Structure formats: structure tokens, C-alpha cells
Structure 1
Amino acid sequence: MTKSSGRLKRILIALTLAIVAVPATAVGAGVWLYAAADVSTVGRVEFANPLAVPPLADSTVDKDGTRVFDLEMQPGHKEFTAGQQTPTWGFSGDYLGPTLRAERGEQVRVKVRNSLDEASTVHWHGMHLPATMDGGPHQMVNAGDNWQPHWEVDQPAATLWYHPHPHGATEKHVQRGLAGMFILDDDKAAELPLPKTYGVDDLPLIVQDVKFEGAQFDHGHRTMANTGFLGDTTMVNGTLAPYREVGDERVRLRLLNASTARSYDFGFDDDRGFSLIATDGGLLEGPVTLDRIKLSPGERAEIVVEVHPGERTVLRSYASPDSDFWQDRFGGNDDSFDILELRAAKALRSSPELSDELVGPAGPEVPDGSDPVRERSFDLRMSGINGEPMAMDRIDASVTRGTTEVWTLRNRDGMPHNFHVHDVQFRVLEVDGERPPPELRGPKDTVYVPGSRTVKIALRFDGPADPDTPYMYHCHLLYHEDGGMMGQFVVVEPGQKAGKPPVGSDHDHR
């Protein structure tokens, strides 16, 4: 029996049992809801809008060498469709934000101003930095206030991002448009024969799903959708129905799933292969040839795709069922989207062949899990992690600076979840007791954990220690996070005990 026929058989059995168990009117409503719940834009998108590329953020360099950026959270309006002004939020613009870029070893400072009418935060997703600079829910920036986080970039080249993280309101703030990329560079990556001209053969792709009611965003949740908001169309870098003209044989796509609940199974409409070169936290040991890469909310992947003169190819998200036909249908895994059309020029610039080795024999800078000082388990349910909903005044775990731990993540309620850990990049050791697939062998800070799945990860905590200021771990399906599917940990020195989070205190103005 094929996978599709087996799945159809399970659906028919379930519907038959439903017919026996409940009145005909209820069954009819359930069948209608199920049949109407999937969404597809495949073959229906007229790619008419040039892809916007977020500008590189301007910066200055202080006398002490610190690179300084300015970011303003601000309200605005944007014409996603001609003649329709949609109210939005953005960073230093009407929607989304500029791409920040810094090099390993640099000191950076970001001057954040909140010009919104409510408090928010700016979290540096994937960044290794002090807890007071992390931009989590303990570093709120009140309306009209300023914040200046600063830190040393001490991690490999990677595609990171920034977004709000106010406790209980993250979904709403991200949906309105507060998000942007933060690209890190280092000397080793700069020497590799990779596409690297930003906006030319190196393209940031911030993928979001949206829904409109007239000119307004519609942020309502679908009936039966306990994953959170699921839109009926997609946009890239704030562009609906986008196309991009490319002039090089090889193009690097920095994929960011900036949706609040939807996972994407990226591929191309002609099933061409592509080279996966990096995951959340940086480069793989060597390129991996794939024709699909699934990213849940918050995850990133860098891929290199080859194009031929004059051709067109469409970046698509394919239906990607997990195991539960009900959750797949109402959680969006049965949906499919045409996302971006690449249009190759009639004459292309030649691109160098990819190297077989990217980071060298030492591999990515993540622990291998061979010497953990402690193992922990995390049971994931929408109602909370390990049976506890988030509490701002409770420290859930203390980890010792300079040590490695192994964490086991177990999905206990059957609905889709993922797991993001602040401050660190981790290694996925196992998926259901087996070696992870190639796309999960690079440095990660977010990992998909679908229904009944168990994932084991290794993490190293290099500090600095701060017993009073926690980092977060949480589901990055933001409806789940806002509902309390989050916990807190602090990094301490050997023998040091956790302190007390400064709940209700002002953010750090240093």
C-alpha cells in the first residue's frame, strides 16, 4: 500500500466512525470543514511584482571600534496591493526592517527606539549574547522609550533574524510587520566560493503567510486551527506575488520562515535539486543535495540553486503531512503555495563550483553530546512545558557556564510544535532514536517537533553567567508561545544558585 492510499484509508475509516458516533448534521459539518480546510495557490499566482530586497542597515563606527546601528519600531501604512493602504508596523520603515550585518569579533550596539503606542521588545534570534541584551520579555521597551543593547559578535557566519518578544503578545507584533534579518560574516566564510553579493546572487527571503480583509490584515485563526494563525497567501520580503530576475548561474537563497504558525516544505516546481549549505546557526561541513527542505516558524536555511539562461522556476511550498490527518489538514501541512518566481537572464554570469568542504574537518561549532554534565527532558504540550505554563517570576532551569547538556524534547499532545532555545546553537543528536537527516545535522537554534516525535539535542552554555536574568526556551508557533508554552533558564557559575528575575523592572539602559 502506498503512503497516499494508506492515508486515504485512515481518513475514510475515521469519517465512517464519525458517522456512526454522531448525528448526520454534525458529520456533514465536519466533512465540509475538513474538505474546505486546505489551501493551495499552486498554478494560480501571477508573479507580477518585483521582489523587494531589504536594504542593508546603515551603521557608524565609534572611536572604540563599536559598530552602531539605529532601529526604530514605528507604525506605518503600506500598499501591498495598488490603491489599498494597509496599517502596518515596521523597523525604520513601514513594514519589516533593514538587514543588519556585522562580522565575527566586532563589538555592536543597536540604538532601539520604540515609537509605537505600546511596549515591545527586540529579540536577536540565534545570537549568542548576554541575557540582559537578549531582548526577551524581561527587556521590554516602553512606548516612547529607548534601549541600547551591546555585545561582541562571537559566533560563525550565519543568517539570524530579529523580532519582538513581548510575553503574551508576540504573535500580534510579528504579524504586524516587526521582523528583519541579521547576517553575520567571518573570514572563513568569506574565502569560500559561495554567492555573496547581497541582493544580486545572495538573496534574503523573509517568507510569511498573510490574509487580507479589504485593505486590512486579517489575523483571525481558522476554525479548528489550534496551531495559530494560518494565512491564505504568502509574501516574500513584504512583496505579494513576487518575481526576481537573476543574472548568475548560481543563486544563494537565505530562507527565513517568519510566519507565526505555518511550516513550509520548500522545493521548486520542477523538482530540481539544490545545495543546502547552512542551517540556523551557520555552515554545514559540506553541501547537501536536496529537493525539499522543511522549515517551521523561526528556522532558517541557506540553499544554492542553479539556473539556466532564459528559464523560469518557481520556489514552492509543498503539502507535507506528518502523521495525523486531522492535525495536518487543520494545522496547514496539507496546504501548498507558489512563493517566488526566479527569472534567469538570457546570458548569465558564471559562478564558481561549490566547495565540497565548507567548515573543515572540525565541523560546526556545536557540541557532539559526548560529555554532557546533565540530561533533561522537556514534555511539549500547548498548555505548557513539563506541565507548567510560563511564569515570569519562575526560573525553570539553571545551567552551569562552560558545560554541555543533552535535552530530550517530546511532543506529548499530538499537535505540531517546535522548540527554540535562546543564546545557543545546538546539535540535533537523534530523531526518534535515529540519526537525524542531513538537513538537521548543522547548527540549530530551532527544531521542528511534530506530533509524537522525540528529538534529542546537545547544547553548550558559554555564558556569561547571570543568575538573575533568564533566557527563554519555547515553542516558536507564536500562538503557543503567547499561551504559555515557554520556560526560562539562567546561566550560573559552578556552585552558584539561580536568583530572582527582575519582574516588572525597567529594561537595562546601559
Structure 2
Amino acid sequence: MHRRKFLLLAALPALATACGSGARTDDLRPQGTLTFGNRLRIPPLAKSTVDAAGVRRFELAMQRGQSELLPGKPTATWGFNGPHLGPTIRARRGETVRMAVTNRLGELSTVHWHGMRLPAKMDGGPHQPIVPGATWTPQWTIDQPAATSWYHPHVHGSTAMQVYRGLAGMFILDEPGGPPLPERYGVDDVPLILQDKRFTPDGSLDGDPLKGTFGILGNHILVNGTYDPYLEVSTELVRFRILNGSNARMYHVRFADRRRFHVVGNDAGLLEAPVELDQVSLTPGERIEIVVRFSAGEQVVLSSVGGSADIDAGDFDVLKIVAAPRLAASPALPARLAENRVEVPADARVRRFRLNGHDAINGKEMDMSRIDEVVPAGAREIWEIENNVYAHNFHIHEVAFRVLDVNGGPPPAYASGPKDTVYVPGKSKVRLAVQFGQHTDPSTPYMYHCHILRHEDSGMMGQFVIVEPGTEAQVPRTIAGADHAHHGSAPGN
């Protein structure tokens, strides 16, 4: 038996004990009637300083803690700079940022900057481990359009458990001179991190992230770590940055009164123009920005409805929004937003990927020492993702892409903007126009993988490097010492 698979299987009993009795597949619908009795927690903005060289510095500590996720019941959780989740990092295009990430968990971890376009050594994938007690200090210059990104662990084989315990936070990128959209954090620019959990009777986290087809599908929905939440708004227009931070669940988000709203952004940036509709869908890792209009004194519930996929069972409420008796006026939504369209030439290279079961791509499980694809810097390619089984999604590090078609048909208009994660329904083929960056490194890979975390941890992941154009044939397809690095070498600084 392959050594990694043996280790993964050997770890299952301990993981099940740590999180309870294991996920059940007979009850996937959220339980109980919400009363909306808890004020929505807004993650604080991460503190930063600017040094003499103009570098903006942030500090993050990965730590264990205890949270009251359910009323009156303490839960052992993990978080950044606190017991659960992490602060929202906010920075501007053109800034150089430096992160000091300290691991106080007592076990190996990493921090991946999901959606960030940056050198591979700073990406925070499984090749940048942070051993217990160590501090990792990646630094890069932000050179991409305004977007809603996020950060989370990416240690191979343990990502699902660490995210489920609470290690996740938003990373908002602003662009000077951008369109006039709501931007007052926590007032008319509100993050919504959607996650589902299972709990034992005493309030402990329940479920095994490596059991069953999809791992964990929880029956309690948390928003920013808040169960049964309500939010008070004080402006006519509110921008919601919605992140699906769940391990596996898909959300079909709409308002109970079916009011229409405008989608203004996808994963990797703003749309060209706002798209009006009344429902959007998000698989794990996807983000979307919507702008909603409210009337003074009204109340409305944000919900998710069931669908046909294996990971979106049931209708359930998510959040009640309460508008103040008097609302501050908001500027009109701009008709044009950005020019972020990803195009490919007529003779673009086509790469094909087949998703096999829940543990392989193109028939191969993830191998830390194997380079699967070599891409020239600045390339614009077509990637075809074929899924012959049940629901998956697909995330590519570093890139921005546009969904060309799903089974030959166009994607929904709201999904036409720049993305980095896409839903790939069962028995389907999705084609992507992919734009790669300019950061070259023939020995340090980026990842592509299913972002259903049970599948990612089980081996549904591959690796690619970006190199100087014309040198592709000279690049070694193996990484010396990669397996050793995964199991605890000192982190890079």
C-alpha cells in the first residue's frame, strides 16, 4: 500500500475520536427552527504596521481555544489571533505586505493565501510547512485587481480537520481608484463566512472529515462563527462578501422574499458590470460579492435552498437582516465596474484533467515529489475539467480564470467574472480560460485540486510550476526531499 494512503488510513480512528462519532449521511439538513437571537459577529480587521521601508506588516498566531458556538455549550476550537476563525486582513493593490505567522497549535500546519497571485514560495501550500513553535514570514507585493480572498491551512492530509476546527479568515484586496461601491467595513461592507458544523450533545465538534464520500456535511449553519444570527443594517445599500468556508456543503443563496440584488464580484475580482438576479450558488472555497437594497424598518431572512447535487441537501435559513428605522442614503450602483475579462488566443494550449472518484486526477493521487504540469510564465490556456462521478469543484492556485462553458453551454451571467474556483457537477465537463502570472520558480509548485476538503486530503490534487518561457523541457519532474519537507522540516522565512 502506498505510504501516504497507509498513514491517512491509520490516522482515521484518532481523527474520529477528536471530532466525535463521525459524520452521518442520513441527516444532512440543518436542524431546528432559528429564532435569530444572536447578533452577527463581524471579524475584526487585522492590525498592521508600516515599517520604514513602506512594508505593511501583519501578525497571525494559529492557536487552540474555546468558543461558545451553541448557547451555553463550550466547544474546543482553533483560530488565528483568537479562539475561532481569524481577523479580516485588508490591503491595497501596490502595497508590499509581510506576514508573520506563528504556529501555536502543537502540530504541523500551513497558511495558504487563497486567491492571491504571488510567488510559489509564499503561497502557503503543503511545501511551506510551519512546524510547531515556528514563525513563517512570507512577503510579496500585491499586484492584482480588487477581490475578496481568504486564508486557511493547506497541510496535505490535515486541511479538512484544521479548517473544520476554525482556521479560516477573509483577505480583502482594494484597488485605488476603483468603482464607488460600499466599502465601510462592518457597516455597508459586510463579510459573511458560511460554514456548517455537527455537534455532540455536550457541544463538541462532531464528524470525521475523512469519512464517507464527502467528509463532513453539518446540520448547524454558522455565519462568521455565529449560530442563529441577525444583522442590523443602517444604509440603503449593503455589500455582502460571501465566502463558502465549509468543508463540502454547497449553498444556493437567496432572500426569503425573493428580492433581487446585484452581483458585483466573483472569486478573483469585480465583474465588468453588475448582474441582477435573485439567487446565487457557491461551492466550498468560492466567494461572491452582492449588493442588496433595503427599506427602512424592514426585516428579511437570507436563506439557502436545496438543489440536485449531493452536497446541497435541504432548505434552511442563514441570517436575519434588520433594517434601522431610518437608513443613510447610498450612492447609486455604477453601471460599469472593471475590465477583468480573461481571454485566450485561438491557438491556446489545451490541458485536460479527469476527476476520478475522490482521490485522483488523471488517475494519479497527489504526490508531493511529482510535478504534473509545467507552464510558461504569462501563458493563457484552456483547461478542460471532466468529471465522470459525483459532485466536485476545482481550484487552481495563483491564477485567474473565466468559465467558458459547462457541458457546452454558457455559465450563469453572475459567474462570468474572474474566478479561481469552479463547481464541476457530476457527469459534466467544464472548460476554463486560464491566465497564469509572471512569478517563475521551476522547483516550487502551486496546486490544483478539488476544494471539497475530504477529496483534497485524500489525494485529488496535482502540482504545477511556472517557468521562463522556452525552458519547459528542461524542468525536472521531481522535487527532491519533498516528502521530508511535508513531515516537518523547518519553514522557509
SS of equivalent residue, structure 2 residue 399: coil
Asked if 1:410 is matched to 2:386, the reply is: yes
Counterpart Cα distance in 1 of 2:461 and 2:293: 40
**Contact kept? 1:372, 1:403, Cα under 8 Å:** no
* Correspondence for 1:351: 330
Q: How much does 1:368 deviate?
A: 1.2
Q: Give the structure-2-normalised TM-score.
A: 0.91
When the two structures are aligned, how many residues end up with a matched partner? 460
Amino acid at match of 1:109: R
* Correspondence for 1:30: none
* Correspondence for 1:458: 433
* Deviations 1:200-244 (CA, angstroms, capped at 9, x unpaired): 011000110011102200023699x51221000101111000100
Q: How much does 1:495 deviate?
A: 2.6
* Correspondence for 1:184: 173
Higher Rg of the two aligned structures? 1
Specify whether residues 438 and 216 from structure 1 end up closer, same or farther in structure 2 by C-alpha distance, changes over 3 A only.
same
Counterpart Cα distance in 1 of 2:36 and 2:278: 22
* Deviations 1:166-219 (CA, angstroms, capped at 9, x unpaired): 001100000000000000001132xx2311100001100011001110220002
Amino acid at match of 1:245: E
1:207 counterpart (179, 187, 194): 194
* Correspondence for 1:509: 492
SS of equivalent residue, structure 1 residue 229: coil
* Bigger shift: residues 258-267 or 74-83: 74-83
**Contact kept? 1:473, 1:486, Cα under 8 Å:** yes
1:285 counterpart (255, 272, 277): 272
* Correspondence for 1:332: 311
SS of equivalent residue, structure 1 residue 433: coil
2:156 counterpart (167, 176, 190): 167
Amino acid at match of 1:159: T
Q: How much does 1:147 deviate?
A: 0.4
* Correspondence for 2:470: 495
Q: How much does 1:337 deviate?
A: 1.8
Counterpart Cα distance in 1 of 2:234 and 2:395: 36
* Correspondence for 1:431: 406
Q: How much does 1:463 deviate?
A: 2.5
Counterpart Cα distance in 1 of 2:451 and 2:64: 24
Q: How much does 1:145 deviate?
A: 0.8
**Contact kept? 1:427, 1:443, Cα under 8 Å:** yes
1:389 counterpart (345, 365, 371): 365
* Correspondence for 1:267: 254
**Contact kept? 2:100, 2:135, Cα under 8 Å:** yes
Asked if 1:378 is matched to 2:357, the reply is: no
Counterpart Cα distance in 2 of 1:166 and 1:40: 29
Asked if 1:368 is matched to 2:351, the reply is: no
Amino acid at match of 1:346: P
* Correspondence for 1:89: 78
* Correspondence for 1:141: 130
Asked if 1:116 is matched to 2:105, the reply is: yes
Q: CA RMSD of the aligned region, Å?
A: 1.6
Counterpart Cα distance in 2 of 1:168 and 1:57: 28
* Correspondence for 1:311: 298
* Correspondence for 1:28: none
* Correspondence for 2:49: 60
Counterpart Cα distance in 1 of 2:167 and 2:227: 17
SS of equivalent residue, structure 2 residue 163: helix
Counterpart Cα distance in 2 of 1:163 and 1:399: 25
SS of equivalent residue, structure 1 residue 168: coil
* Correspondence for 2:288: 301
Q: How much does 1:440 deviate?
A: 1.6
Q: How much does 1:464 deviate?
A: 1.2
Counterpart Cα distance in 2 of 1:356 and 1:139: 42
Unaligned 5+ runs, structure 2: 1-23
Q: How much does 1:434 deviate?
A: 1.9
Specify whether residues 153 and 253 from structure 1 end up closer, same or farther in structure 2 by C-alpha distance, changes over 3 A only.
same
Counterpart Cα distance in 2 of 1:444 and 1:367: 9
SS of equivalent residue, structure 1 residue 173: helix
Unaligned 5+ runs, structure 1: 1-32, 322-327
Amino acid at match of 2:36: F
Question: What is the identity percentage for the equivalent residue pairs of Structure 1 and Structure 2?
Answer: 50
Q: How much does 1:41 deviate?
A: 5.0
